[in-house]
Amino acid sequence: MQDFKSYTLDRRPARGQLVKRLVLSVIFLLILAAGFLFLISNPTEESQPVNSPDSDTESQPEQQRKLILPLSLPGQPQESRQTPPPVKQNSKGFISQAVAAEPAESSETVKAAEMIPAPDEVAQPTATEEARKTVYKIRSGDSMASIFKKNKLSPSLLHQIVNSSKTAKQLTDIRPGETLHLAFDADDKLLSLRLEHSKVDSLEILATAEGFSATEKSRAVETRNTHLSGVIENSLYVSAKKSGLSDQLIMQLADIFGWDIDFALEIRSGDRFTVIFEEDYLDGEKLRDGPILAAEFINQGNTYQALRYVDDTGRADYYTPEGRSMRKAFLRAPVDFRRISSRFTKERYHPVLGKKRPHRGVDYAAKTGTPIRASGDGKVIFRGKKGGYGKTIIIQHGQTYTTLYAHLSRYNKKARKGKRVKQGQVIGYVGKTGLATGPHLHYEFRVNGVHRNPLTVKLPAAKPIAKKYRDDFMIKIQPLISKLDLISRTLVADAQ
């Protein structure tokens, strides 16, 4: 990128009169051509500002860049960039600095900077002009110290920056995937440093006369509501994907309804779903999916609706239109539905014992090593080998319920006897210890010591919406329910 410096210098007019005139006319033509290019295209990516152009010659570097770019750097990636930089409220007098720093940005960072309206970069003369810029993608194992070393910056400078303010201290906590921008002046002095945590959030540190100023910046994200519906052909995943739901939304959907519907085994072709969800946009471009706001699932003719409610402590949860929690005190299955290959409940001929015997639990076939989760909050009251069960864990949940997990290949070391476990916490791994022909989890559910079929037992629900939020909940969910109903009716009408 430094090459064109010499190019600019070479463009000095020659001594001979004729040559001079020729060169001048060539320059004139080039300026015309550049101006034309400028008019027909968006402003292209700016090159590095040439060595310290002074503030009184603002337009000149402009021209030089326009000239140089199309001519001397044809191979250079020149992604057109709508606009330069996200300079919103900058602290104190650093606006000009940041603005001037932007045009030299490397193409790697185009996405972060592209959507902001162009600030009037010419109008802001700066004292110290940026001459060089480095963009660094942070990888695992990197530290700020190692990056500083690579860039020939002293450890004491890093120390000085990090200790300049509480905000600047964040610099010690870099993560893989983040991007670091370093800007230097012509004397290789560090002018600014920007750590981009994400497309939205960044930390900017600018060298000032007094030391360093650090600012956290967050770009405004616009949220839009949208919805998608689909009819299931055979698998939830495939059909939901086909209808346009992202993996993340599919998992959210499965989490919301997974308490009522067994997505591995109870899905039927013709089941339908509708999802109303948020999408986050950054300057008109989709950034990511937000949370599901409301969803409906029709499984074998039964309609389930779920509505998201955020209470004033910021805690979000899903409820039925009546305000009952979608969650239960117990997971329907202690193994992730995507990893279950089959399940058995009925009385059957025991392949190992060679005789018929009642089966008092559910067997979930899954690969050895598949994590097993505690189906509810509770306390481990047994962990060890237990005859035909092999390696077994029993959890006590309150006074009434116990759950048993058998044939484990190994235990999770946190699920020791006497320890409290949380719902969903991994307590062990699928195996085939004891009397088992293949790897599977044998799961039992007992109510007051009596075996119940975990697949059909009525599971106690988690707490309903708190009384103090109930009125607010009822008001807020109305538009969502109306919308769900409307979409549902349209779907049915379309299908007929």
If the CB atoms of residues 327 and 442 are measured against Zn ion, the closer one turns out to be 442
From the list 13-21, 227-235, 290-298, 438-446, the region that binds Zn ion by CB under 5 A is 438-446
The least distance separating Zn ion from the CB of residue 453, rounded to whole angstroms, comes to 12
Helix (H, G, I), strand (E, B) or coil at 124: coil
The least distance separating Zn ion from the CB of residue 342, rounded to whole angstroms, comes to 12
The least distance separating Zn ion from the CB of residue 363, rounded to whole angstroms, comes to 4
Told to check if 197 binds Zn ion by CB under 5 A, we report no
276: amino acid identity, one letter: I
Total Cβ atoms within 10 A of residue 415: 20
If the CB atoms of residues 271 and 363 are measured against Zn ion, the closer one turns out to be 363
**Site size toward Zn ion, by CB under 5 A:** 2
DSSP 11-60: TSPPSSHHHHHHHHHHHHHHHHHHHHHHHHSPPBPP-PPPS---GGGTHH
From the list 52-60, 237-245, 360-368, 474-482, the region that binds Zn ion by CB under 5 A is 360-368
Class of residue 204 by CB neighbours under 10 A (exposed 0-12, middle 13-18, buried 19+): buried
If the CB atoms of residues 81 and 442 are measured against Zn ion, the closer one turns out to be 442
If the CB atoms of residues 198 and 409 are measured against Zn ion, the closer one turns out to be 409
If the CB atoms of residues 392 and 412 are measured against Zn ion, the closer one turns out to be 392
Closest of 192, 218, 190, 194 to residue 204, by C-alpha: 194
If the CB atoms of residues 356 and 416 are measured against Zn ion, the closer one turns out to be 356
The mark string for 143-182 relative to Zn ion (x by CB under 5 A, - otherwise) is: ----------------------------------------
The least distance separating Zn ion from the CB of residue 431, rounded to whole angstroms, comes to 13
Told to check if 363 binds Zn ion by CB under 5 A, we report yes
If the CB atoms of residues 93 and 351 are measured against Zn ion, the closer one turns out to be 351
List C-alpha distances in Å: 295 to 156, 466, 476, 487.
55, 21, 15, 11
Residue 321 and residue 235: Cα distance in Å, rounded? 27
For residue 112, how many C-alpha atoms fall within 13 Å in the half-sphere facing its CB? 24
Residue least distant from Zn ion (Cβ): 442
- State CA 401 to chain mean position distance: 37
The least distance separating Zn ion from the CB of residue 372, rounded to whole angstroms, comes to 13
Instruction: Tell me which residues in 440-459 interact with Zn ion (CB under 5 A).
Output: 442
Residue 484 and residue 467: Cα distance in Å, rounded? 25
Q: Tokens representing 314?
A: 């910021």
DSSP 235-263: -HHHHHHHTT--HHHHHHHHHHHTTT--T
The least distance separating Zn ion from the CB of residue 440, rounded to whole angstroms, comes to 7
From the list 128-136, 261-269, 356-364, 488-496, the region that binds Zn ion by CB under 5 A is 356-364
Residue 416 and residue 413: Cα distance in Å, rounded? 6
If the CB atoms of residues 194 and 440 are measured against Zn ion, the closer one turns out to be 440
From the list 165-173, 260-268, 364-372, 437-445, the region that binds Zn ion by CB under 5 A is 437-445
Q: How are the residues of the chain apportioned to helix, strand and coil, as percentages rounded to the nearest 5?
A: 30, 30, 40
If the CB atoms of residues 37 and 365 are measured against Zn ion, the closer one turns out to be 365
The least distance separating Zn ion from the CB of residue 442, rounded to whole angstroms, comes to 3
The least distance separating Zn ion from the CB of residue 361, rounded to whole angstroms, comes to 5
Residue 158 and residue 127: Cα distance in Å, rounded? 23
The least distance separating Zn ion from the CB of residue 246, rounded to whole angstroms, comes to 36
Strand-pair partners of 378: 421
Strand-pair partners of 316: 310
CB 29 within 8 A of CB 100: no
Told to check if 391 binds Zn ion by CB under 5 A, we report no
If the CB atoms of residues 179 and 375 are measured against Zn ion, the closer one turns out to be 375
Binding positions for Zn ion, rule: CB under 5 A: 363, 442
